[in-house]
Amino acid sequence: MKSILKFGWALLFSAVISTLSLAQSAQNLVAGVGPVTNSIAIWNDKSAINLVSGNALFPASGNQIVPYIGITQGSTVDVGNMVAYITKRNNTKILSVIPVTYKGRSSGSILLNVSNCRVVPPSTQFPCVLRLDPLKVSPSPLYDCYFVIYFSDTVNNIAVDSPISLNSRTTIIGGINAGDQTRLLPGNFIPSSFLNKGSSNFLVGVMNN
């Protein structure tokens, strides 16, 4: 079963990447998540926090960061807001706040149907992988990036699951906080509750395209 999961995840993620042209070939910026083995359920009124540390960046060219998120259960995801907090490496003072969008929107409902997912309904074996819009930030080992997604307090999000991998060697560090954690401003400090080291949530890959 484990080999099936590994094959299914690799096939699905490569299929997403293959939609890019050869001129836009993507490189991993960090070790991503996979193969997916488990899920975390019930995301209404919660924020998923994922730290992409400058310490963990692979050498890669480009002037943008492209997040990929995965979903393993649900029919609709209600996103309240998405942001990226940029700090100096190993520092918690926020230098800038960048809106994160999917198809031009930082919030709204995402239908987990054939227009957004290659396999419907999504599952642990075949997660729905969404390529978020590129962030116009050059990856640098001098900075850390905190991706935060707030899931609205709706019935739809009770049925939403985040993929995790018990055997993954990902360098993405995750956390879960109650409420909307996307409203911090430049000059604010990353709350200590963000810094609990755990599995990444939703963020399954970070690439340069």
Residue pLDDT, tens place only, 118-177: 999 999 989 999 999 999 998 999 999 999 999 999 999 999 999 987 767 788 988 899
CA angle 194, 157, 106 (to 5 degrees): 65
For the cut 50, the answer to whether the pLDDT of residue 21 exceeds it is no
Structural domain boundaries in the chain: 2-207
Q: What are the DSSP E strand ranges found in the chain? A: 38-41, 46-52, 66-71, 76-88, 94-99, 108-111, 128-131, 143-151, 161-164, 173-178, 203-207
pTM of the model: 0.87
CA angle 67, 33, 123 (to 5 degrees): 95
3-state secondary structure of 157: helix
Kindly state the tokens that stand for 135: 């962030």
Tell me: the pLDDT tens digits for 26-52?
A: 788 988 887 787 889 999 999 999 999
Residues 32, 170: Cα–Cα separation, whole Å: 5
* Class of residue 125 by CB neighbours under 10 A (exposed 0-12, middle 13-18, buried 19+): middle
